[in-house]
Amino acid sequence: MTKRWALLAAAGVLALAGCSSDLPEDSNPGGGSSGSDTRKSEFFDQAEYDRQLKFRDATPQGPEGKPWEQMLEPEMVDTTKFAKTGGKYTLCFSNAAVDNPWRQVGFKTMQQEVKLHPEIGDFVVLDAEAKDDKQISDIQSLTGRNCSAIIISPNTTATLTPAVEQACGTGVPVIVFDRGVNTSCPVTFIHPIGGFAFGANGAEFLKEKVKPGGKVLALRILPGVDVLEQRWAAANEIFAGSELDVVGVEFTDGDAAKTKSIVADYIQREGEINGVWMDAGATAVAAVEAFQDAGVEVPAFVGEDQQDFLRLWVDEGLNAVAPTYPTYQWRTPVIAAVKILKGEQVPKEWVLPQPRITSDNVRQYVQQEMPPLHYAMCGCETMPGYPGPWK
Amino acid sequence: MTWRPRLAEGTAPVLVVLLLLLVGLAIVGPAYDEPSGYLALLKRAAPLMILAIGQYFVIVSGGFDLSVGALVTAGVVIAARLIDGDESATTPVILLVLGFGVLVGLLNGLITTKLLVPSFIVTLGMLLVLDGATFLWTDGAPRGALSAGFRTFGRGALDVPLLGEIPWSVLILLAILVAAALFMRSGTGRALVAAGDNEAAVRMSGGQVDRLRLLGFVLSGLLAAVAAILLGGFAGVSAQVGSGLEFRAITAVVLGGVLLGGGRGSVVAAAAGALSLEALFTLLNLLGVSGALESAVQGLIIIAAVAYASLGGGLRQRLRLRPKQCNTVQPAPS
């Protein structure tokens, strides 16, 4: 009996390996080229895509050199009904999470921004730890706290919408930023141009720099997150209209070792890779290292504005671009809150400029003394106390 | 003591699987026509193989170590923060990381053996403690940087006469593998397996079961620290570096035919299981299968192995593992 089961189990394991290897033939006829050129992403929205691409060329309104106070094509709304005289505001903030370097840098910048406004007496922050249910109860608890204004950075769009509506219902001005919600009740919704523009910035760079027929590897963190899906949808759209050969679209889980292994595999498999597109730059350095360790030239690269990548870019003279999702947007909600409480006008949708770093200006963003995962586009260099809190 | 551990059990199937996978790689990937391709595979698999060897010591003595993934992350994050790009700090920090691994293993072992908490719970708790502490300490974003010296072990290679460039990680792996195989042939190694198979028998024959299990946990912690040094060297600082590695190591060990619950299996087979797993993932990647399938494959391997352990291992095994259950369920005579 023992032997029979042993055989069965061994056969099972073998069959398992066999089954897995058979899968690609059915679902993925092109081997690695994951049908990206033919299939439009369900997250693709032509109107929004066109709008974001148009925003990139629009001239922002607002003070020069302070992009966190600038706005693109604003429609101002009146806020006199929220005006509070006497100052000493209690500013409340329901934060989705501080679980990644981007949110870390952003949140620190926000805390410093609060210090710049003597009108703010109290800054109450609840961290939802990336849990929808916790954020819903956080928002409920804030509505009972005598907040002058409530800032919300939603964890997810659909689930948090009712909670935001409820907060709006209490009459306190609500400011939403970063990810959106499906309601127009907040006084203002603050965000940079968006994911389509981010993805397009990188893809257009590759379209321009990689020769026709060149092999492009696309690295994504994980599927299903709308911000990241939009980036890929835009890139996919641009690649489809180009002569680039997208040899693979892989998920890295944001893990450096996995990224490096995947890129090394592709270098082996394809012989050469002429361009790498990434939906977020956190593992860009690991991807570049895969080329260095394989002893081949580093191709055209799409990264992000993290210091480790920018330093490598300058040191190695890479041919790269860094679309950014600027962390300076964390300053804007505080500025908006103070404006609203003073009865000044704010845009209904506050669209911030979303710059990209190119080889022409990368040197000005390299800050040797900052940690490797610091985001250059924090707009925090001129804040008092810099660089202390960000280190 | 008339009972003799059968160290070679389970080695043959995994070697067959490994051979099939390597042949598959040779067919699919042009890079695997030459030894350098396999060397690259071995280099990439080295951290997992070392983790699997560590995990083997714990599993074969009747426990689990779920804390190794979090320990790897903690090791890399601590090293980056303390070195902060300073080359001269490399050696002390490497020693400190190894010491930290031993300490965590010691804690796991002591709580398991002295306070009699099941190792599954102890190491799960340790996983959460380490994850939480790492997060608190770093605020979610690791700081500092690893020095070039630290990264040599995971990234660099040594020029060996006659053989050419051999990655450091492969040399370290081979040294550990040989040491582990020799250790398992020694009296202590055999007693470790015996402790997992029949605790009472070892105790009655004068063996120190607690001390043996403690040794298993300490070795697992130490090897997790070694894996952290190699992984940090391979890909640099990351707060995700160790996530999921504990399950990957356990999958590798059971794929190597080591019995969950202890008492059977060889350390070389466990390492071969890790190499097979890495080869399988590489093969799937070369075939263009989505990476999402990896966790599914791991899950299926674990389930198949546990099913094999409880059925193939015979009812005698089941009776010993779950004595309470067997009072209510009348087992069919085999």
Q: Any chain A CB within 8 A of the CB of B238?
A: yes
DSSP conformation class of A30: T
Confidence tier at A30 by pLDDT (50, 70, 90): very low
Residue type, B294: E
Q: Report whether A262 contacts A202 (CB < 8 A).
A: no
Question: Chain B contacts of A327, Cβ < 8 Å?
Answer: none
Residue A125's pLDDT is: 94
Residue B2 lies in a domain: no
Which residues between 54 and 113 in chain B have a beta carbon less than 8 angstroms from any beta carbon of chain A?
Answer: none
Q: What is the pLDDT along chain B (334 residues), one digit of tens a residue?
A: 444 444 455 677 788 888 888 888 888 877 777 777 788 888 889 999 999 999 999 999 999 999 999 999 999 999 988 988 788 889 999 999 999 999 999 999 999 999 989 999 999 999 999 988 988 887 767 777 888 888 888 888 888 877 778 889 999 999 999 999 999 988 888 889 888 888 888 888 887 888 999 999 999 999 999 999 999 999 888 877 888 899 999 999 988 888 888 888 889 999 999 999 988 888 887 776 666 677 788 788 878 777 776 665 554 455 455 544 444 444 444 4
pLDDT surpassing 60 at residue A297: yes
- What pTM, to 2 d.p., does this model score? 0.77
Range of the domain at B269: 11-328
For residue B288, give the nearest of A1, A31, A261 by CB distance. A31
**Average pLDDT for A268-296:** 90
Residue B192 lies in a domain: yes
Domain count for chain B, please give it: 1
Interface mutation target, options A109, A265, A266, chain B, most CBs of B under 10 Å: A265
Provide the shortest C-alpha distance from residue B111 to chain A (in Å). 30
Residue B296's pLDDT is: 83
Residue A25's pLDDT is: 34
Q: Report whether A10 contacts B279 (CB < 8 A).
A: no
What residue ranges do the domains of chain A occupy? Answer: 30-48+195-323, 71-193+326-354
pLDDT surpassing 90 at residue A333: yes
Residue B228 lies in a domain: yes
User: A258 and B291 in contact by Cβ < 8 A?
Assistant: yes
User: B40 and A264 in contact by Cβ < 8 A?
Assistant: yes
Omega before A24 cis (within 30°)? Answer: no
The 10 Å CB-count burial string (b at 16+, else e) for A147-162 is bbbbbbbbbbeeebbe
Q: Any chain A CB within 8 A of the CB of B14?
A: no
**Closest-CA residue of chain B to A286:** B235
For residue B139, give the nearest of A1, A32, A98 by CB distance. A98
Q: Report whether B9 contacts B197 (CB < 8 A).
A: no
Q: Any chain A CB within 8 A of the CB of B156?
A: no
User: A2 and B285 in contact by Cβ < 8 A?
Assistant: no
ipTM score here? 0.71
Q: Are strands A120-127 and A76-77 parallel, antiparallel or unpaired?
A: unpaired
Residue B147, SS3? Answer: coil
- Of A7-11, A190-194, A230-234, give the lowest mean pLDDT range: A7-11
Distance CA B185, CA B203 (A): 20
Residue type, A272: E
Structure tokens given for B25: 């790689």
Alpha-helical runs (H) found in chain A: 2-27, 46-57, 101-115, 132-143, 157-169, 195-209, 226-240, 256-270, 284-293, 307-316, 332-341
**Average pLDDT for A193-203:** 93
* Backbone CA torsion sign across B324, B328, B333, B334: negative
CB atoms within 10 A of CB A388: 9
**Average pLDDT for A38-44:** 72
Residue B202's pLDDT is: 83
Residue B6 lies in a domain: no
Q: What is the pLDDT of residues A104-133, one digit of tens each?
A: 899 999 999 999 999 999 999 999 988 899
Residue A3's pLDDT is: 42
User: A101 and B312 in contact by Cβ < 8 A?
Assistant: no
Which has the closest alpha carbon to B219: B54, B24, B76?
B54
CB atoms within 10 A of CB A209: 16
pLDDT surpassing 50 at residue A5: no
Question: Chain B contacts of A264, Cβ < 8 Å?
Answer: 40, 44
Residue B225's pLDDT is: 96
Q: Any chain B CB within 8 A of the CB of A311?
A: no
Distance CA A38, CA A50 (A): 20
Architecture per CATH, domain A71-193+326-354, reads as: 3-Layer(aba) Sandwich (3.40)
Structure tokens given for B23: 């042949």
**Average pLDDT for A14-20:** 39
pLDDT surpassing 70 at residue A20: no
Confidence tier at A151 by pLDDT (50, 70, 90): very high
Provide the shortest C-alpha distance from residue B112 to chain A (in Å). 31
Does domain A30-48+195-323 match CATH 3.40.50.1450? no
User: A2 and B312 in contact by Cβ < 8 A?
Assistant: yes
Residue A84's pLDDT is: 86
What does the DSSP assignment read for A215-241?
EEEEEES-TT-HHHHHHHHHHHHHHHT
* Backbone CA torsion sign across B189, B193, B199, B204: negative
A126: β partners: A94
Q: What is the mean pLDDT of chain A?
A: 85
Residue B110 lies in a domain: yes
**Average pLDDT for A209-224:** 89
- The CATH number given to whatever domain includes residue B54 is 1.10.3470
pLDDT surpassing 80 at residue A47: yes
Q: Who has greater pLDDT, A202 or A255?
A: A202
Long-range CB contacts for residues A157-160, cutoff 8 Å, separation at least 24: A157/A181, A157/A182, A157/A226, A158/A182, A159/A132, A160/A132, A160/A135, A160/A136
For residue A104, give the nearest of B139, B313, B334 by CB distance. B139
User: A255 and B289 in contact by Cβ < 8 A?
Assistant: no
Residue A39's pLDDT is: 63
Distance CA A12, CA A29 (A): 26
Residue B5 lies in a domain: no
For residue A250, give the nearest of B20, B291, B312 by CB distance. B291
Task: Count how many pairs of residues, chain A against chain B, have C-beta atoms within 8 Å.
Answer: 143
Distance CA B71, CA B78 (A): 10
Q: Report whether A318 contacts A196 (CB < 8 A).
A: no
* Backbone CA torsion sign across B245, B246, B249, B251: negative
For residue A268, give the nearest of B29, B236, B311 by CB distance. B29
Provide the shortest C-alpha distance from residue B314 to chain A (in Å). 6
